[in-house]
Structure 1
Amino acid sequence: MAHHPLPGSLESGCIHGHLSHDTSHYREGAAQLELGDGFFRPESRPSRDLSVLMAAWQLRQRGESPCRWLDLMAGCGIRSVRWGLEALPAIRTSSAVTLTVNDADAARQLLLQRNLAPLRSARLTLACHQEPAEVLLRRAYLDQHHFDLIDLDAFGCPNGLLQASLQALAFDGVLLLASTDGRSPTGHDRVAAVRKFAAAARTHPASWEVALRLQLAVLAREAWMLGRGLEPLACFSDGRTFRLAVRMRRRLADGEEQQLGLLARCARCGAQAVQPLLRLQGWPSCACEGTQGRWAVTGPLWLGPLQSPVVISELLELADALEHTLAKPGRRLLQRLQADPGLPVCCWSTAELARRLQLQGPPSLHDLVGVLQASGYQACASGVMAGQLRTDAPLDSLLQVCRHLGRKDR
């Protein structure tokens, strides 16, 4: 297979050593590797499972076309190892696959080389780098070396790397993005939200979802400035890390700019309202009497879908062929996301609704969804946060249904 590493790379021949059978090594999927003393969370396996499925899905989508993957901040290399040992063997293709593995920490290079050793026999071209992420991305762009899949798993807010990442991403490429910055996009550090997201961020019961939508808004603006479109494939959070899988389209979809807007909520009565920036005007009255209500506005944020149920369905189908890839928590996550595309935008905490009505406990989410759908409203359980209802029903109708179900539960 032809080898076209980026300039300055360490060839795959430099990778040596073997995996020990020491019981301190970590096993996940088809990978057994050393974790070293760097930061690692076993609880983040669902996101790594998703990345393997995304790599396999992309291979199947591209047919015989070459595939170029980048693990930008590889750490111990677990994602790269699993891509090579799980995604690649699962898809029958003669596609030439190039895997670029990068970590700027010189102290981790020997560990990374040992962990990558099993990939020497995989049918891929392997290139290792030890560079700051932005240096690698900028040089790749200048050399017109574009990647089809980029995993950017950074500490803190990744927004400083978004432009370089999107410029290095091929048309219809997939970006897997992680952020551990939870305070600014959830409204707990509003000054930082202005700096990092150029947005107002207010506290909200659906805080995880608001954080994801703020991150998508930044991505959309960066993509649009390059003339590309944004398609969210899967967006989720565990409350500590906010993760997005998005596909960058060659051009914007019709009306895509309508997906950028503002979300308002009245903390006193709980009412919510949404407006696209292109149709921005005065806010309607909330449910408070007289002038007692006050809207707290968040945004600009993404008002479009958060998931692609079609793609997630294909990932779940692929998981049947990847025997060791999708663990039970990851499967449950994908099934929740598959059932909730992320529209309508407004989410309501059932616990908050119960408190406002002084009910003994939250109404059944299943029953709420059923009654609202039977009444002609859109409604589903949120796949992003537990105990959250997604619906376009106005607040008064929602409270009326909750009150009725509360009486039935007595």
Structure 2
Amino acid sequence: MNHESLICEEKAYFIVGNTFYRSQSKITRDLGVLAAKAYKNEQGKLKVLDVMTGCGVRSLRYYLESDADYILANDSNPENKAVIEHNLSQILQEKKGKVTYQNANNIFFECYSNKDYYDFVDVDAFGSPNPYLSTALWATKIGGLIYLTCTDGRTATGHLPENCLQVYGSYGRSHPAAQEQVLRLIIGSTLQQAATIGLGIEPIFSYFSGQTYRVMLRLLPKINLSLDNYGFLGYCHHCGEYVTISYKQLGKMRCYHQQENKKYNYTISGAMWLGDLHNKAYLKTMKSLVIDLKWTEVSDLLSTMINESEFPPYFYTLGEIGRRGKLDIPKRSQLIKALHNQGFSATNTHINSQAIKTNATLKQCIEIAKGL
């Protein structure tokens, strides 16, 4: 192990050995570091639980870059002990943390039993995070942050709707904005779990890239689940339009097509989170921290996320606009500008580089695209 070459990620130097490390996921660790640092600056303290630490790089970066006061790093595989404790030796030597080797849920319950609550809980699960949602809440301080990972997009994008029902308690159907749906199902599931114990959650940010979904949530002291922020998304396969549907509207809404004088059923997904994907103010704070770091890619991502924060819970792909409008696929920047000129709000989305978020209907997007 001593002969293994060190890997450098920002301020962290570490080895991997037989543990898991994915260099392509660095940006998700960058976002976590920034959110944790913003919390430390705001609250004056930062106690971190990294419950699935892997090689320990996240714990090390929270300590070195987010100025964490204390780190509890846990991994379920004791065979990783040599690598983890080598990488976290500075934290251990300075008595600013400890390493454990238990099942994640055991750690959460132990924290709750000992009233040992954490400001920042990182749950970097493989597959769905849902087996840990309710238990992770028990280890989190009120007002603290929970950082969830999902690598199983197939279940919640409509490919396995029955599995989705088993995992999320919601039915996910296939449609062009299904990647955003995964993020909203994770948030909605956590929201519902928090409500069962009299608490609430709000998204700080929601991120998708490749096969990885990450959601940063803040735990709130009161239930905030409502018919306005927790409901259903309807998609009309006939015309491509979306609509949000509340519990009270179930069975009462159909998509009317004037030319045919006919109504079509919506394909309905949910229940899910229908509110904002991100907390714009918190993202602006995170972006202010990037200036000195010169993280250009992260800064650009945060700008996109800030701009897309307050749009409807779906997006339109340029390919869908071109296909349904029987026209060449429009350039995204030109279409957004044309929508602005017509009085609509519109922006890029980080979820899909060939899509837009807007308050215009798909039909209106097509008509405007035809004039380009």
Matches of 2:265 and 2:247 in 1, distance apart? 20
1:185 is the counterpart of 2:156: yes
Deviation at 1:379, TM superposition (A): 2.1
1:109 is the counterpart of 2:109: no
Deviations 1:204-249 (A, max 9, x none): 1112101101111101101112222221111011130110011111
**Aligned CA distance change for structure 1 residues 284 and 191 (closer, same or farther; 3 Å):** closer
Matches of 2:4 and 2:138 in 1, distance apart? 42
Paired amino acid for 1:54:
A
Deviation at 1:275, TM superposition (A): 1.5
Contact persistence 1:344–1:378 (CA under 8 A): no
Matches of 1:358 and 1:365 in 2, distance apart? 17
| Residue of structure 1 in register with 2:331 after alignment | 364
Query: Superposed, which structure 2 residues align to 1:217-228 within 5 Å?
Result: 217-228=188-199
Partner SS, residue 49 of structure 2 = strand
Contact persistence 2:20–2:55 (CA under 8 A): no
**4+ aligned runs moved over 6 Å, structure 1:** none
Within the candidate set 43, 48, 51, 1:69 is matched to: 48
Query: Superposed, which structure 2 residues align to 1:7-22 within 5 Å?
Result: none
* Residue correspondences, number: 371
| Residue of structure 1 in register with 2:63 after alignment | 84
**Aligned CA distance change for structure 1 residues 105 and 126 (closer, same or farther; 3 Å):** same
Partner SS, residue 371 of structure 2 = helix
Query: Superposed, which structure 2 residues align to 1:116-195 within 5 Å?
Result: 116-120=88-92, 125-195=96-166
Q: What is the Cα-based RMSD across aligned positions, in Å?
A: 2.1
Matches of 1:46 and 1:256 in 2, distance apart? 32
Contact persistence 1:74–1:80 (CA under 8 A): yes
**Aligned CA distance change for structure 1 residues 286 and 265 (closer, same or farther; 3 Å):** farther
Partner SS, residue 228 of structure 2 = helix
Tell me, which stretches of 5 or more residues in structure 2 are unaligned?
Answer: none
1:399 is the counterpart of 2:366: yes
TM score, norm. by length of structure 1: 0.85
1:331 is the counterpart of 2:271: no
Paired amino acid for 1:26:
I
TM score, norm. by length of structure 2: 0.93
1:272 is the counterpart of 2:272: no
1:27 is the counterpart of 2:8: yes
Matches of 2:64 and 2:346 in 1, distance apart? 40
| Residue of structure 2 in register with 1:100 after alignment | 72
Paired amino acid for 1:356:
R
Deviation at 1:265, TM superposition (A): 1.0
Contact persistence 2:255–2:266 (CA under 8 A): no
| Residue of structure 2 in register with 1:379 after alignment | 346
Matches of 1:267 and 1:280 in 2, distance apart? 18
Matches of 1:134 and 1:102 in 2, distance apart? 11
Deviation at 1:364, TM superposition (A): 2.4
Paired amino acid for 1:62:
Q
Q: Which has the higher contact order (CA 8 A, sep 6+)?
A: 1
Deviations 1:270-294 (A, max 9, x none): 1211112255451132447344744
Matches of 1:286 and 1:48 in 2, distance apart? 45
Tell me, which stretches of 5 or more residues in structure 1 are unaligned?
Answer: 1-18, 90-96, 406-410
Paired amino acid for 1:191:
E
| Residue of structure 2 in register with 1:8 after alignment | none
Within the candidate set 254, 261, 280, 1:284 is matched to: 254
Within the candidate set 350, 353, 373, 2:318 is matched to: 350
Matches of 2:6 and 2:247 in 1, distance apart? 51
Contact persistence 1:271–1:286 (CA under 8 A): no
| Residue of structure 1 in register with 2:290 after alignment | 319
Paired amino acid for 1:216:
I
Deviation at 1:374, TM superposition (A): 3.2
